Amino acid sequence: MKNFQIIRALSAGSAVTSSGKEASSMYIAGGTNLVDLMKKNVATPDKLIDINAIDLKKIEFLTQKVSIGALAKNSQVAEDKQIKEKYPLLSLALSAGASQQIRHMATVGGNMLQRTRCSYFYNTDMPCNKRVPKSGCGAIGGSNRMHAVFGASDSCIAVHPSDMCIALAALDATVFVEGPKGKREIKFGDFHRLPGNKPEKDNTLEKNELITSVEIPENNFTKNVHYLKVRDRSSYAFALVSVAAGLDIQNNIIKNATIAMGGVAHKPWRLTEAEEYLKGKTVSESTFKHAGDLAMKEAKGYGDNNFKITLGANAIAEALTIAASK
């Protein structure tokens, strides 16, 4: 690991100012992803700005929305009584991630910015356009069982690894940030990006911008919701595919639906066509099966991950069936 300096910021403004003073500075929150990346020389900052002392840990229930501070711990959010009542999909998705110990350290902002788990990205002996632009992609034509079936490019087929973000995408969250040019907000669907020819860039944050909070509007997805995570082990494993599903059902008719998938793209993947198809339909097994098939019809495998196309369709149908049964 390279030597680095560490300083502690006491406010968002001072963190942003300190970050701007050093080209290779990085913020550190729980450290559960960044420290691993530093140990493997994938991230090599000269300066770390410890943001843990900044007052950004609160979960505030405001008029028709909740505001969650970027430094709220994953376990704190998952176990909050009102989050469980009003935003149960978020609690379920968070609880499916990592382990209890890691969730105690991991923060909301850090979770959103965790890097892909593509094994070539973590191995500095291998080519990887995301780690070293223009060096090639080991996964295309290589081992790609965990990789994307939607939105990939000739430069990168990696997937975004977070569980929490799949629920935030389904719940139409907004991200609040502060940077050298001031404060701004970013719709969650615009926060993470597809790889295109710039796979080194995971998201639309500008240099030195700090995430300060995430807001979620109130919604009717409070009862018929489910987060289904299909993985190789039942703990400590990232999703092969995951589905965050929310249904608003009245008299057995689906009034509204929200569905997002994880493990299938470089960003949380919202299934808008399947959502539209479901609106107005009667709850039934065949409807949910059709929604799954519809959602996966444009998916493209890269060899080892071809199984995700069938798995994805089945997972969507299963998540919707479980959500409807609650």
Ligand X SMILES: Cc1cc2nc3c(=O)[nH]c(=O)nc-3n(C[C@H](O)[C@H](O)[C@H](O)COP(=O)(O)OP(=O)(O)OC[C@H]3O[C@@H](n4cnc5c(N)ncnc54)[C@H](O)[C@@H]3O)c2cc1C
Q: What is the binding site for ligand SF4 (CB under 6 A)?
A: 116, 118, 120-121, 128-130, 137-139, 156-158, 199
**Residue number with CB closer to ligand X (262 or 283):** 262
Is residue 42 near ligand X by the rule CB under 6 A?
Answer: no
What values do phi and psi take at 243, rounded to 5?
-135, 125
Which stretch, 31-39, 247-255, 266-274, 278-286, contacts ligand X (CB under 6 A)?
31-39
CA distance 262 to 161: 7
CA distance 265 to 194: 8
Hey, is 282 helix, strand or coil? strand
Is residue 26 near ligand X by the rule CB under 6 A?
Answer: yes
Tell me which of ligand SF4, ligand X, none is bound by residue 176, counting a contact when its beta carbon lies within the kind-specific cut-off of 5 to 8 angstroms. none
Is residue 27 near ligand X by the rule CB under 6 A?
Answer: yes
Size of the site for ligand X (CB under 6 A): 31
Tell me which of ligand X, ligand SF4, none is bound by residue 12, counting a contact when its beta carbon lies within the kind-specific cut-off of 5 to 8 angstroms. none
**Residue number with CB closer to ligand X (202 or 248):** 202
CA distance 114 to 134: 22
Among 9, 16, 34, 126, binds ligand X (CB under 6 A): 34
Q: Min. distance of Cβ 103 from ligand X in angstroms?
A: 7
Among 210, 241, 249, 291, binds ligand X (CB under 6 A): 210
Among 18, 25, 32, 305, binds ligand X (CB under 6 A): 32
Is residue 162 near ligand X by the rule CB under 6 A?
Answer: yes
288-to-61, 295, 320 alpha-carbon distances in Å? 33, 11, 6
Is the separation of the CB atoms in 306 and 278 below 8 Å? no
247-263 residues labelled b (16+ CB within 10 A) or e (exposed):
bbbeeeebebbbbbbbb
Among 59, 105, 132, 194, binds ligand X (CB under 6 A): 105
158's torsion region: left (phi>0), alpha (psi -120 to 50) or beta?
Answer: beta
Q: How many CB atoms lie within 10 A of CB 93?
A: 29
CA distance 278 to 294: 11
- Enumerate binding residues for ligand X (CB under 6 A): 26-34, 51, 70, 74, 97-98, 102, 105-107, 109-111, 113-114, 161-164, 210-211, 236, 238
